[in-house]
């Protein structure tokens, strides 16, 4: 699916390295997180068998630390939501956006407690809202406020981890929590939290692959990334065609309830798509919103952070 051609007038990518490749000598380091569970998906779908290269996974809390690790060369490849790559571009991180994925966006939500009087985003004025800085939930919150005629200054934003956000919401320390699946599904199923807005109403449902510039300059690692993308696409197709088996396995390996797992993967399967001009333009709109809110320094040219060598 990632091999589909994309139209393009974004900043051209640097030429891919050429020459003979011995994949048996390559170790591809992939960053992972619970909400994405790349390793779990590949293992459950049988895509980790007979790898021609070595594959190492490391787990991170969220997308922004993944981008920082890739920029520092600690990992070669990571999948993030729609916002960490924007923050990476703003900080001139040593990464390129090399692939795109699309989900419904319905699992990226602003939640309130079961008995909260808050019914809409407009009701958040003057309230405390938790989210993880630089995450897709952060973007969703910003865009939902704008849609409701509010600014970020109209709410008190509390930047905390997903685990702390869940605790803060259930204890009443914050009035609302902007987060993503599986945290959204867990809160809905375990505590009766209610979604007052979801990303499909204001943001986009895109996720992205970010690769370190060092990995992209290495012929072996670049070849491994291309192979890895094919395996991930096959694993995604398997998960969609075997939803019961996949959601059960995910629940077992991540220690969440089967109900929360099935809810997550009913609405949050991430389909590989081409890295098109439309995708880049949608991300540019989010980047501009962050600039306008003063959450990132200066302006971001998202197209300049894109490398389409795996989408051509």
Residues 215 and 189 in one domain: no
Single out the residue in 156, 179, 201 at which a domain terminates: 201
Residues 172 and 230 in one domain: no
Residue-wise pLDDT for 209-237, tens only, equals 999 999 999 999 999 999 999 999 999 99
Task: Name the DSSP class of 305.
Answer: G
Cis status, amide bond into 182, omega within 30 of 0: yes
Residue 155 is assigned to a structural domain of this protein: yes
Rg (C-alpha) for the chain, rounded Å, is 19
The tokens for 218 are 């290495």
pLDDT of residue 16: 59
Residue 156 is assigned to a structural domain of this protein: yes
Residue 1 is assigned to a structural domain of this protein: no
Question: Alpha-carbon dihedral of residues 149, 110, 138, 240, nearest 10 degrees?
Answer: -130
CA dihedral (304, 37, 225, 161) positive or negative: positive
CATH of the domain at 188: 3.40.190.10
Residues 34 and 68 in one domain: yes
* Nearest residue to 264 via CA among 213, 189, 163: 189
CA dihedral (60, 66, 71, 77) positive or negative: positive
Number of helices (H) and strands (E) in the chain: give both, helices first.
Answer: 11, 11
Residues 226 and 154 in one domain: no
Residue 120 is assigned to a structural domain of this protein: yes
Q: How far apart are CA 8 and CA 304, in angstroms?
A: 12
Residues 125 and 261 in one domain: no
Strands 109-112 and 77-80, bridge-based pairing? unpaired
Q: How far apart are CA 199 and CA 63, in angstroms?
A: 17
* Nearest residue to 187 via CA among 173, 203, 205, 167: 167
Residue 60 is assigned to a structural domain of this protein: yes
Residue 239 is assigned to a structural domain of this protein: yes
Does residue 308 contact residue 10 with C-beta atoms inside 8 Å?
yes
User: Where do runs of H (alpha helix) occur along the chain?
Assistant: 38-44, 63-71, 84-90, 136-147, 162-171, 183-191, 213-216, 219-241, 243-254, 258-267, 277-293
The phi, psi pair for 271, rounded to 5°, reads: -90, 125
Single out the residue in 201, 227, 247 at which a domain terminates: 201
Residues 60 and 184 in one domain: no
Question: Alpha-carbon dihedral of residues 297, 158, 161, 248, nearest 10 degrees?
Answer: -110
Range of the domain at 298: 23-103+205-311
Residues 140 and 237 in one domain: no
Residues 99 and 214 in one domain: yes
Residue 55 is assigned to a structural domain of this protein: yes
Strands 128-131 and 156-159, bridge-based pairing? parallel
Which residue's entry shows tokens 């079961």?
114
Cis status, amide bond into 306, omega within 30 of 0: no
pLDDT of residue 49: 87
Does residue 238 contact residue 43 with C-beta atoms inside 8 Å?
no
pLDDT of residue 1: 18
Overall number of domains in the chain: 2
**Which residues of the chain fall short of a pLDDT of 70?**
1-19, 312
Residues 232 and 255 in one domain: yes
Does residue 173 contact residue 75 with C-beta atoms inside 8 Å?
no
Single out the residue in 149, 168, 201 at which a domain terminates: 201
Q: What are the angstrom distances between the C-alpha of 194 and each of 13, 114, 165, 185, 210?
A: 43, 6, 14, 10, 32
Residues 301 and 229 in one domain: yes
Residues 89 and 115 in one domain: no
Residues 176 and 141 in one domain: yes
Residue 17 is assigned to a structural domain of this protein: no
């Amino acid at each position: 699916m990632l091999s589909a051609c994309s139209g393009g007038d974004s900043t051209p990518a640097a030429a891919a390295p050429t020459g003979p490749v011995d994949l048996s000598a390559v170790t591809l380091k992939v960053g992972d997180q619970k909400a994405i569970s790349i390793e779990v998906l590949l293992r459950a779908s049988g895509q980790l068998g007979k790898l021609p290269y070595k594959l190492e996974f490391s787990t991170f809390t969220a997308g922004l630390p993944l981008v920082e690790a890739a920029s520092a060369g600690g990992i070669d490849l990571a999948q993030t939501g729609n916002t960490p790559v924007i923050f990476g571009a703003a900080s001139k991180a040593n990464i390129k956006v090399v692939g795109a994925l699309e989900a419904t966006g319905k699992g990226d939500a602003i939640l309130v407690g079961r008995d909260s009087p808050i019914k809409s985003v407009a009701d958040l004025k003057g309230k405390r809202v938790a989210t993880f800085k630089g995450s897709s939930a952060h973007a969703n919150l910003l865009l939902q406020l704008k849609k409701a005629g509010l600014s970020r200054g109209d709410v008190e934003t509390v930047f905390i981890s997903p685990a702390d956000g869940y605790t803060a919401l259930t204890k009443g320390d914050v009035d609302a929590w902007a987060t993503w699946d599986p945290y959204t599904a867990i809160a809905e199923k375990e505590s009766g939290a209610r979604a007052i807005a979801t990303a499909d109403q204001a943001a986009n449902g895109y996720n992205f692959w970010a690769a370190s510039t060092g990995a992209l300059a290495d012929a072996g690692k670049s070849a491994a990334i291309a192979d890895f993308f094919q395996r991930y696409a096959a694993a995604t197709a398997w998960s969609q065609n075997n939803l019961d088996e996949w959601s059960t396995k995910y629940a077992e390996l991540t220690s969440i309830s089967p109900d929360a797992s099935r809810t997550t993967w009913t609405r949050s399967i991430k389909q590989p798509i081409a890295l098109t001009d439309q995708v880049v333009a949608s991300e540019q709109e989010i980047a501009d919103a962050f600039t306008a809110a003063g959450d990132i320094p200066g302006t971001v040219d998202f197209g300049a952070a894109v490398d389409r060598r795996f989408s051509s």
